[in-house]
Amino acid sequence: MGKSKKQVSSRSSRTPYSRPSTFPNHGIKAKSKPKPLRPKRIQTPTIPFDPTDRILLVGEGDFSFTHSLYAYHNCHRLLATCFDSAATLVEKYPQSTGYIQELQDADREDETVNIQILNGVDATKLGRGGVGSGGKEVKKGRFDRVVFNFPHVGGLTKDVNRQVRCNQELLVNFFKAAVPLLAPEGSIIITIFEGEPYSLWNIRDLARHVDLKVGRSFKFQAEAYPGYKHARTLGNIEGGRGWKGEDRESRTYIFEKKDGEEIQGQLKKPKNKRNGFSDSDSDD
């Protein structure tokens, strides 16, 4: 009996494999393509000072801000004041001696520089005569800029509401004292931290009580003032520990005398290119 031939299937007889155009996802959502990363916008710091400005600074801490205005922004007409006596200042901020010495040397050696340092000046008594008023140098007035960076009464109480009221009183009395010292086109510049409890001060409303308006506001960028370090009202923390104020979000407000644009207690809203009007004076 002959051997039966084994049937060999032909490869060509098979149905060719066809890759399906889509696979079932069984309820699994396909991952979307990641969005391209947008380059981070680098904001150019706003410097509200001009080398020709006559500037009064009140409530200075270690005078590092005054020093930065002179050394890096060519502001040479500065009257810088602080609340502390000379002895207390050195005790609270030992680094202040170096800044003050450099400023005084510049004033003595360069005829184009007019820098004065005054101790024991109360921001609420400016130019009024008597102790804490700053004397005749402040009383002369006609300042292009009056600057109060990070005003604060210090830790008078742990009661938040009382602390807010005390700081509000400080600001209102400062406004009242500073307005008569302004040049015709002068302005008051105040920088405070953002968020609570500082937002509870309602600084815009306080300014309205003394016929001031916010001309503009913008993010304060400490790095725009080389050498500047935030000085706590209570003085340095031993060992340099603790939070750094220059790293915290802050905002600068430029207050101007009200003009004819005020209508029933509200300012006309400036136009903007995007939607025609803006309800904010903020630059960012």
pLDDT of residue 36: 65
Q: Supply the pLDDT for residue 263.
A: 30
Specify the 3-state DSSP secondary structure of 79.
strand
Task: Please tell me the predicted confidence (pLDDT) of residue 158.
Answer: 80
CB-count burial class (<10 Å; 0-12, 13-18, 19+) for 225: buried
DSSP letter string over 135-147? HHHHHT--EEEEE
pLDDT of residue 216: 96
The pLDDT score that the predictor gives to residue 94 is 94
pLDDT tens series, the chain, 284 aa: 555 544 544 444 455 555 555 545 555 555 566 666 665 566 789 999 999 999 999 999 999 999 999 999 999 999 999 999 999 999 999 999 999 999 999 999 999 999 999 999 999 999 998 889 999 999 999 999 999 999 999 877 788 999 999 999 999 999 999 999 999 999 999 999 999 999 999 999 999 989 999 999 999 999 999 999 988 766 665 544 444 556 789 999 999 998 744 333 333 334 343 333 233 567 66
- The three-state secondary structure class of 244 is coil
Q: 96-128 burial, b for 16+ CB within 10 Å, e for fewer?
A: beebbeebeebbeeeeebebbbbebbbbbbbbe
| Residue 240, both tokens | 């340099």
Residue keyed to tokens 């969005």? 35
